[in-house]
Amino acid sequence: MDTNQDAEANPREETGQDGAAAEPERIYKTFTALELIRTVTDRVLGLLCIVLFVVLVIVVTWQVISRTVLNDPAPWTEEASRFTFVVLALLGAALVFSERGHIAVELLVSKFPRTAQLAVAVAVELIVIFFALLVFVVGGYRVAENAWDQQISTLPVTVGQVYMVLPLVGILIIFYSIYHLIAVLLNGERPVPSVEETAEVI
């Protein structure tokens, strides 16, 4: 959340040596557009996570009731809850990338001088993009393709269709990384994300 405030408090003016006065203005406008897309994406993902979580609670509750009270276990509940959970967890993971909230050890980097921190921040985002591209987008698309016709026995979808969440999440992660790359370089966002000290650890 505080990254937004940083961005607003610090709309960076100087961009470089060229001295082209229109250039920073244009970059800043593009960035505002990016910011808007990010806000909308965050909202949509957040809403999706809440809805999926409620669905998850309802499905597993129904599983317990049907098994223990009605003595007639509903077999679809297990698969439905597992797949809902994977989709929820992956979409949530993408959302956490928006906040740079994934667990990381910043102990060493936080002691670096600022230029080194910037270099590391750029490297980190580029590595995240490469990882998301390789595993989520390319790998995810291939597994989805392979399993496209594989029917889930108790649900009206195929395994491949559920797998499509992988490339989708990959694209979202890449978008967020590009956003942070630009924000760190041009918009004064902190190169080392501030540690969420109150985060629950398990």
Partner 1 sequence: MDTLTITTIVLIGGIAVGIALGLPVAVAMGLPSALAIVILLGWEGAALTSAQRVFSGSNSFALLAIPFFILAGGLMTNGGIASRLIDLAQVLAGRLPASLAQTTVVANTMFGAVSGASVASAAAVGTVLSPPMKKNGYDPAFSAAVNAAASPAGMLIPPSNTFIVYSLVSGTSIAALFMAGIGPGLLWAAVCFVMVAFYARKHPELRSTYRPTLRQALVVFLRALPALALILVVIGGILVGLFTATESAVIAVLYAFVLGLVQRTLPIRELPKVLLDAAKTTSIVMLLIGVSGILAWVLSYSRIPETISKSLLGFTDNPAIILAIIMVVLLLAGTIMDPTPAILIFTPIFLPVVVSVGVDPIHFGAMMVFNMCLGNISPPIGNNLFVAARVGNVKIEPVIGRLMPFFWALCIALLIVTYVPELSTWIPTQLGFISK
Cβ proximity to partner 1, 149 vs 200, nearer residue? 200
Nearest of 117, 100, 125, 118 to residue 195 by alpha carbon:
100
Cβ proximity to partner 1, 24 vs 92, nearer residue? 92
Tell me how far CA of residue 144 lies from CA of 20, 98, 159, in angstroms: 47, 25, 7
* Shortest Cβ 89–partner 1 spacing (Å): 4
Q: What is the DSSP letter of 139?
A: I
* Shortest Cβ 59–partner 1 spacing (Å): 9
Binding site for partner 1 (CB under 8 A): 46, 49-50, 52-54, 56-57, 60-61, 63-64, 68, 78, 81-83, 85-86, 88-93, 95-97, 101-109, 120, 123-124, 127-128, 130-131, 134-136, 138-140, 142-143, 146, 163, 166, 192, 197-202
* Shortest Cβ 7–partner 1 spacing (Å): 21
Instruction: List the beta bridge partners of residue 158.
Output: 151
Tell me how far CA of residue 44 lies from CA of 35, 40, 49, 89, in angstroms: 14, 6, 9, 15
CB atoms < 10 A from the CB of 11, how many? Answer: 13
| 43 Cβ contact list (under 8 Å, min separation 6) | none
* Shortest Cβ 5–partner 1 spacing (Å): 19
| 85 Cβ contact list (under 8 Å, min separation 6) | 56
Cβ proximity to partner 1, 22 vs 199, nearer residue? 199
Cβ proximity to partner 1, 35 vs 78, nearer residue? 78
Cβ proximity to partner 1, 31 vs 191, nearer residue? 191
